[in-house]
Amino acid sequence: MDAKMIAMGILDGLASIPESAYLSGVRTWDSLGVIDRKTRARNEIENERFFLVLKSMATNESPLRQLVSTVITDFYKKLDEKGKQAINDKLHYADAKLGSRVGAQAFITQKIAEMIIHRVRMKKITQRLVRVGSAFTFNIIMIQGLIEESARASRRMQSSYPETYYKVSPMNLDMVYFLAEKELEPYLMYIHSHPIQCKGIENEICKILSR
């Protein structure tokens, strides 16, 4: 993805249900033991990590909020001053109004994070996850598809964006990445890009926002 496409993806964040049935079959088939011991052990760990964040998602969306806020904060910190100013202007806030630079950063990053969380909250897959987490009891077979989606997205994050993965995985936040992967990927691509490419992305952001 070139600088312009990444920039457009980032700015789209300011402004479908996966194939769960198929993935449920994959995960259920794996759980029956038709896999090697290493993969089975990996799946068991993923199951445990998924359930650790499931209840929190049903009560206060804390894991999703933490993940999105972490990514957006890292994105904003990496922007140069020109890029930060363009984003601030887009959101109609200025340093003078917000007070300190640290305060401005916190306010702007939370503003962007809230926009993304609102969009993710409207997804059917997110609503389904919340319903499952709200239940007093649940059958693991019924949510194998969700676990498989979660696990695959976590592995993609580890492979493509290892720095972010190792920052969020101790809190199991990577297990909710599948809910916001589409929205967060342009930001992650920027965060993990070479400084030269970052400059090109920043220029595109400023160019688009100045129209």
> What residues have CB less than 8 Å from 84, skipping those under 6 apart?
76, 108
- For 114-143, the pLDDT digits (tens) are 999 888 887 766 776 666 665 545 555 567
Judge whether residue 98 has pLDDT over 60: no
Residue 20 confidence (pLDDT): 47
Tokens read off for 177 = 């990445």
- For 66-92, the pLDDT digits (tens) are 999 999 999 999 999 898 888 888 887
- For 1-37, the pLDDT digits (tens) are 677 787 777 777 666 334 444 444 455 545 555 567 8
- For 148-188, the pLDDT digits (tens) are 889 999 999 999 999 999 999 999 999 999 999 999 999 99
